Amino acid sequence: MEGFNLKFVFCTLAIIILIHFSEHSHAEAKIDGFTTDFISRDSPHSPFYNPSETKYQRLQKAFRRSILRGNHFRAMRASPNDIQSDVISGGGAYLMNISLGTPPVPMLGIADTGSDLIWRQCLPCPNCYEQVEPLFDPKESETYKTLDCDNEFCQDLGQQGSCDDDNTCTYSYSYGDRSYTRGDLSSDTLTIGSTEGDPASFPGIAFGCGHDNGGTFNEKDGGLIGLGGGPLSLVMQLSSEVGGQFSYCLVPLSSDSTVSSKINFGKSGVVSGSGTVSTPLIKGTPDTFYYLTLEGLSVGSETVAFKGFSENKSSPAAVEEGNIIIDSGTTLTLLPQDFYTDVESALTNAIGGQTTTDPNGIFSLCYSSVNNLEIPTITAHFTGADVQLPPLNTFVQVQEDLVCFSMIPSSNLAIFGNLAQINFLVGYDLKNNKVSFKQTDCTE
């Protein structure tokens, strides 16, 4: 299939982050930034890797997590102060290795671009789920402290925060699968280790010290690390050090890939140069999510105008700003139903041939003649930025003899997922409110 390298489509929702700093001190990281390596959740380098599963079985799990993640996002948008949704707690976007405390205590946590609060299991813990790593003991940390109810971070919790009798700020998060975490909002030194050189430490990072946690969390999950756009997230708390700049480059991964994706912060995270296109980052509710404005998609030379979720189909309104969430943790791209239908129609006309049914019921457009397809480039028209997506970004092999269009219809939420972002350097500038794209070979 022209332009479509099948062994590079196996992208997943969750990744372990290993940190490599170009400089070693806190101040130096502020000036020069730092870069991390991503390892796919389902790669042999991950503790979650299951060698008994086929690459197609791992893909199916990633596809289903996309749908569950979409449900989670819908619930957060409907009620941003009350997170309850059909989400599997252990199926988050990434895993990340950090440490908290002085001396530092390692933590392998779910790193989630759809969440803000950093939290981990803490002693005393009368009701904790079992985990491989030792529980964090605040009494053993020289730099740990609980935060008062008048602290700014406590105010950022909204309805998920409350005040204890001794004026300690407490938090409570719950999920639709009956998983939950409750504890004290605290602060401590966060350390990001390095396999080369000394670790870098960031004092005074706010996090939830969970004393009551349960549900479907995995024993390898030490807690959660929020990477969203809200004030409690790790990204926002490090904003002064990194200048509000970060970027990532997602490699096309196969099960035997030895090359890792990269995420960059600070000056290392600036995306510029020839071929770079930028689009405004739109403020939305909740502020956890990163919103862009998609004006349409072109299939080859045919342009399909964006259609949203408006009930007035006879009189389409102007394109709504911030109509799609860009998310590195969702595998598939979700589009409004009517818009998706028009795009699929343009694709079937351009490709020709006989379509077939997805036996797993996830995808609407599939083909069985893998080697004979000629798939056109699809261009995503964001405001001010045309992003050309080759077949690698738009079709995925789900079985030996089956490839499917990796965008699916959605009833009330649009997400630009990570398959569409493979081999792009995607940069976020949170001070100037823009997202940039630069086509890149992320394996180099």
With a pLDDT cut of 90, the percent of the chain lying above it is 45
Predicted pLDDT at 394: 96
Secondary structure of residue 239 in the 3-state scheme? helix
- At which of 214, 231, 262 does a domain end? 262
Residue 137 lies in a domain: yes
Q: Is residue 107 within 8 Å of 120, Cβ to Cβ?
A: yes
Give the other-Cβ count within 10 Å of 285's Cβ: 11
The residues, ordered by sequence, that sit 6+ positions from 428 with a Cβ below 8 Å of its Cβ are: 244, 245, 246, 247, 269, 281, 290, 435
- The residues pairing with 355 across neighbouring beta strands, listed in sequence order, are 367
Predicted pLDDT at 72: 59
Annotated catalytic residue: which of 184, 188, 327, 429? 327
- Residue 316 is which amino acid? P
Residue 3 lies in a domain: no
Residue 7 lies in a domain: no
Spatial distance between the Cα atoms of 183 and 120, rounded to a whole number of angstroms: 9
Predicted pLDDT at 305: 95
Residue 122 lies in a domain: yes
Is 60's pLDDT higher than 90?
no
Q: Are 187 and 327 found together in one domain?
A: no
Residues 88-129 have pLDDT tens digits of 333 444 577 788 999 999 887 777 777 889 999 999 998 989
Q: Is residue 395 within 8 Å of 405, Cβ to Cβ?
A: yes
Predicted pLDDT at 294: 98
Q: Are 77 and 200 found together in one domain?
A: yes
Q: What is the CATH number of the domain that holds 406?
A: 2.40.70.10
Residue 326: exposure state from Cβ atoms within 10 A (0-12, 13-18, ≥19): buried
Q: Are 198 and 307 found together in one domain?
A: no
Predicted pLDDT at 14: 39
Q: Are 295 and 188 found together in one domain?
A: no
Mean pLDDT of the chain: 81
Of 168, 119, 124, 117, nearest to 147 by C-alpha is: 168
Residue 72 lies in a domain: yes
Q: Are 324 and 429 found together in one domain?
A: yes
pLDDT band at 10 (very low <50, low <70, confident <90, very high): very low
Residue of higher predicted confidence among 277 and 127 = 277
Predicted pLDDT at 103: 93
Q: Are 145 and 254 found together in one domain?
A: yes
Q: Are 245 and 275 found together in one domain?
A: no
Residue 2 lies in a domain: no
Is 42 marked active-site? Answer: no
Secondary structure of residue 351 in the 3-state scheme? helix
Range of the structural domain that residue 372 is part of: 271-439
Q: Are 177 and 236 found together in one domain?
A: yes
Predicted pLDDT at 401: 87
- Residue 439 is which amino acid? Q
- Residue 212 is which amino acid? D
Is 74's pLDDT higher than 90?
no
Is 112 marked active-site? Answer: yes
- At which of 262, 280, 297 does a domain end? 262
CA dihedral 84, 187, 48, 46 (to 10 degrees): 140
Q: Are 250 and 171 found together in one domain?
A: yes
The CA distances from residue 233 to 2, 207, 227, 358, in Å, are 41, 9, 5, 38
Q: Are 186 and 279 found together in one domain?
A: no
CA dihedral 289, 154, 201, 93 (to 10 degrees): -30
The CA distances from residue 149 to 82, 124, 156, 162, 163, in Å, are 19, 21, 11, 8, 6
Predicted pLDDT at 209: 97
Q: Is residue 44 within 8 Å of 51, Cβ to Cβ?
A: yes
The residues, ordered by sequence, that sit 6+ positions from 87 with a Cβ below 8 Å of its Cβ are: 68, 69, 71, 72, 175, 176, 177
Annotated catalytic residue: which of 42, 112, 342, 429? 112
Residues 379-428 have pLDDT tens digits of 999 999 999 999 999 999 888 889 999 999 998 889 999 899 999 999 99
The domain total for the chain is 2
Q: Are 60 and 183 found together in one domain?
A: yes
